[in-house]
Amino acid sequence: MKSLGYYNGKFGPIEEMMIPMNDRVSYFGDGVYDATYSANGVIYTLDEHMDRFFNSAGLLKINIPLSKDEMKGILYEMLAKVDSDENFIYWQTTRGTGMRSHAFLSNDMPANIWIVIKPDKVKDLSQKIRLITAEDTRFYHCNIKTLNLLVNVMASQKATEMGCNECVFHRGDRVTECAHSNIHIIKDGVFKTAPTDHLILPGIARAHLIKMCKKHNIPVDEAPFTVEELFNADEILISSAGSFCLAACEIDGIPCGGKAPEILKTLQDGLTEEFETETKKSLIQ
């Protein structure tokens, strides 16, 4: 099977899966999600993604009916049913099913579990990407990986229509993150990234980038940076589950980057090696 879906214990081809109309996601986007990739039967950084998933759910008082180990077990059970060696793995939980009401009334409502696995590969890190900027009009809980992504969708659509790959959000002069990535800059040999406050999602790939910097003695500054600093950076980098460290060549139509190629190569090579090492473990055990 190429792609596989799951909903509350039922497996099947994605196009055949049926979801109740009264699942609260239909009315309110009332849920959280996470995602990563797999290769050679190994789900990459699964523990970190699962910890964030349960943390997001807890912050919204969503009662996940499974433990972390049970969730991981289902993901691996599904992974064994698909044909591809490289896959995108997505899972979400919604608050539950019931007649439409803004208040969810009870914390005892069992959450619904959705999972999708489909063939896909992590991005080629050698490619350069084009960016646009936009004012960040999202709410003030961006640290929760919620399903409320309408602003992100519209920003991504605008970027696509302009022939670009990603949209960089800013609140006034402060750069926050992208529509579906974290953003970082390199300036004068220092890796700069926004702090993990309520204005950005604490990205797993972001954390691995920081670890890679420290491994190679690249200074890290976890502090807010401005739009002006963004445009004057030696390199502009984005990171996400499927694009560990992509460099930009253009932002708002202005050429950028290319001024710290040695640092960029060190980070990209290190992250690629880390992924390949971790996902080959099942082959050598």
Residues labelled as active-site residues: 145
Query: What CA–CA distance (Å, rounded) separates 104 from 24?
Result: 9
Q: What CA–CA distance (Å, rounded) separates 175 from 229?
A: 9
CA distance 246 to 126: 8
Whole-Å CA distances, 81 to 4, 73, 78, 118: 8, 13, 5, 11
Q: Which amino acid is at 123?
A: K
Task: Report the 10 Å Cβ neighbour count for 272.
Answer: 16
The pair of structure tokens assigned to 273 is: 């090696």
Structure token pair of residue 178: 């992208």
How far apart are the C-alpha atoms of 69 and 92, rounded to whole Å? 15
Q: What's the length of the chain?
A: 285
CA distance 206 to 241: 9
How far apart (Å, rounded) are the C-alpha atoms in residues 183 and 194? 8
